Amino acid sequence: MNEQEQPARDPDRPEAPASQPASPPSGLAIVRRAIHLLSEGVRGLLISPGQVLACVASLAVATCLVTLFGSFGSTAVDMLERAGHRARVIIYLKERVSSEQVSELLKEIGKRPDVEFANYLSAEEDRARNAALLPPDLASSLPPATIPGQHCIEAGFGDSTERIPDVVGLTSFLRDLEEVEVVAEPPVGAARIRAASAAVRFGRLALSVLAALLVVSTLFFVVGTLTRTMERRREEMSILRLIGATDAFLKTPLYIQGILQGAAGVLIGASLGRFAISAANTWLATELAVAISLPTGEDMLVPFSLLAGAVIGTLGAFIATSRRLP
């Protein structure tokens, strides 16, 4: 080789050999890389298994609580809404009020924003309604004439969750009407309906704040484990960078780790919550003989968990990797 003036050169090896594309790679290479990165993500879970377990457990607890609160909350909202819907005021009219005056009155009452409906009941209809309120055996034993009946207007409130029904305002408005004899308030009382509907609204707000806090705190855990993985692999990542790893190559295992952790935590938590709810349902039915069935959301369990876990994992990984990737 002494005769060579020029250093050895291989015509098949230009500056950039064909095996190393100077531009982003083909689809197949991306798939292969994806498989490799998936296994790297799983590997990340094993770097600090204790912390990963703690993260999954906290996520599970948070999800379980959110599931329970969600189920109880929506049942409570449901019940109060129904109570709110049932709240109505009965306006007993003076005997002499004519049907023209009644339709005038109906129009006037119907104009009020918190009134959803207003119906006229004849004296006979009112009697039948009152009879229906009595225990069946008592009602049948009484002579019909002893059950009171007076023509009246029944006014119902609108959706109590949207607006606190102004029962007091409505009542005083009605009392001032000339044709009105008596205004009967709803049995539960105006103040309580107002309190209940406020409670519903507050409960909903509190539950969503709580759920948000739980999500934020579990996100903190996810970011913590991923940061830990990054710290443990700092040296490794900087070496990979020097031999041509892209940001995506370094970040993807972290995203995969976050998503796996998130999905596992949410799935476990939601399953626990569902189990607790069905246990509660059984208890309500057998011990308390209450016909309330809390929703378990069984059909949504797996897709919801995977989606929620993926969202939490992705967010966690985004926060962790954007803070400082080695």
Partner 1 sequence: MPTVRLDAVVKRYPNGTEALNGLSFEVEPGEFVYLSGPSGAGKTTLIKLLLRMETASDGDILVFGKNLRALRKSSIPYLRRNVGVIFQDFRLLHDRTVYDNVAVGLYILGLSRREVRQRVEGVLYDLGIDRYAGAYPPMLSGGEQQRVAVGRALAMQPALILADEPTGNLDWELSSDIVRLFESLNERGATVLMATHDRFLIEAYPKRTLLLNKGFLIEDQRLPGEEIEDQ
DSSP one-letter string for 241-278: HHTT--HHHHHHHHHHHHHHHHHHHHHHHHHHHHHHHH
- 16 is a site residue for partner 1 (CB under 8 A): yes
Quick one: 134 or 239, whose CB is closer to partner 1?
239
> How many residues touch partner 1 (CB under 8 A)?
41
- 325 is a site residue for partner 1 (CB under 8 A): no
What gap in Å lies between CA 315 and CA 324, rounded to an integer?
Answer: 15
- 291 is a site residue for partner 1 (CB under 8 A): no
Q: What is the DSSP letter of 134?
A: S
- 9 is a site residue for partner 1 (CB under 8 A): yes
* Contact with partner 1 (CB under 8 A) among 244, 286, 287, 289: 244
Quick one: 47 or 128, whose CB is closer to partner 1?
47
Buried b (16+ CB within 10 A) or exposed e, 193-214: bbebbeebbebeeebeeebeeb
Residue type, 149: G
* Binding mask of the shown chain, residues 18 to 57, with x at each position contacting partner 1 by CB under 8 A: -xxxxxxxx-xxx-xx--x---------------------
What gap in Å lies between CA 27 and CA 21, rounded to an integer?
Answer: 13
Min dist CB 27 to partner 1, Å, is 10
- 14 is a site residue for partner 1 (CB under 8 A): yes
What gap in Å lies between CA 325 and CA 276, rounded to an integer?
Answer: 41
The token pair at 105 is: 């009155």
Q: What is the DSSP letter of 119?
A: E
* Contact with partner 1 (CB under 8 A) among 56, 99, 140, 242: 242
Quick one: 3 or 100, whose CB is closer to partner 1?
3
For residue 155, list its beta bridge partners: 89, 118
* Contact with partner 1 (CB under 8 A) among 173, 249, 304, 318: 249
* Contact with partner 1 (CB under 8 A) among 145, 243, 289, 291: 243
Quick one: 33 or 204, whose CB is closer to partner 1?
33
- 246 is a site residue for partner 1 (CB under 8 A): yes
Tally helices (H) and strands (E) across the chain.
10, 4
Binding site for partner 1 (CB under 8 A): 1-2, 4-10, 12-17, 19-26, 28-30, 32-33, 36, 235-236, 239-247, 249
